[in-house]
A = this chain, B = another copy of it.
Amino acid sequence: MNWLDEGALYSSIGLFLREDLGRGDITAQSVLPRNARARGRFVAGETMIVAGLEAAEEVFVTLDPQQQLEAFASDGEEVEAGKVIARTSGFADVLLAGERVALNLLQHLSGVATMTRQFVRAVEGTDAKIADTRKTTPGLRMLEKYAVLLGGGINHRYGLDDGLCIKANHAGIAGGLAVAVKRARAAIGHVHMISVEVANQVEATEAIEAGANVLVVDGLDPSALMELVGAVRKLSTQVTIEVSGEVSGPITLENVRAYADAGPDLIRVDALTQSVKAMAIGFQIQAG
């Protein structure tokens, strides 16, 4: 899979290592024979979508440009418990210095990808795509959004600069939903899409008439949503309909299918990148 910008993706690996290494690994340096060599294997402890192998390789390469990871699965692939995902060999102190950061990334990102895949499967057969949100772990957004792609989801806004999204807050402060949309269009021209959060058909109609490209529907149960979708589709074939669970309560693996069946184009799921469950992955090291 291509990715936006490797620089953006891996630029913090050095910081993560410094966070863990501080002034250096005093155990390894005190205890290991000079130039001792070792081999390590990453082994899956449960079924998962692997994500973060390139990040893990970057961890070791940052410590020693010679170090490489031989991968037996690729980012985005599903593996079973017991599968050897990748192996590496080199100086023992490099393996030990990178172990924890590599694992912390791999386990976390594989958790994101695996959760995403579960949501994607839950809506299979419908027209709804699963998208992430800005509820990401501070400092890990680009890596988490990459893991969402690996899981089969699509990326929503990367940040506040990446598309307009007019919420009730904005509309309230600006003096109404239609005013807000029109101000936005005047400021931004036709370069960006304008999304508007709506809670019912009246607001949806107002937003479309004011020139919104995307409706973000929140606060409706699946049947009310289906009704709104039908009405909107009659008004315009160009408008995209997103569902968000901010007000209605979180979108879960249990309820996502019902929302998908209501006909939206996109469902935004906090759970992809919030309260991430780390996957069980081990790193087995031996001398040699």
Residues of A within 8 A of B (CB): 1-5, 7-8, 12, 15-34, 36, 38, 92-93, 96-97, 100-101, 103-105, 107-108, 111, 129, 131, 134-142, 154-167, 169-175, 180, 183-184, 187-193, 213-214, 238, 240, 265-266, 274-278, 285-287
Contacts and interface: CB of A to CB of B under 8 A. Distances in A.
A164 B8 contact: no
Most chain B CB within 10 A, of A16, A155, A173, is at: A173
A191 B12 contact: no
Nearest to A64: B6
A29 B4 contact: yes
B139 A21 contact: no
A5 B27 contact: no
Given A7-B18, A157-B191, A189-B131, A23 B286 contact: no
B191 A192 contact: no
Contacts of A170: 27-28, 31-32, 96
A8 B24 contact: yes
Contact of A104 (B101, B104, B111, B137): B137
A49 to B, nearest CB: 16
Contacts of A97: 160
A4 B25 contact: yes
A262 B159 CA distance: 36
Given A7-B18, A97-B160, A139-B15, A2 B266 contact: no
A59 to B, nearest CB: 9
A92 B180 CA distance: 14
A164 B165 CA distance: 18
- Enumerate the 7 nearest inter-chain pairs by beta-carbon distance, A residue then B residue, closest first: A4-B24, A5-B24, A22-B161, A139-B139, A190-B240, A30-B187, A16-B138
B138 A21 contact: no
Nearest to A101: B138
Contacts of A101: 138
A139 B138 contact: yes
B30 A5 contact: no
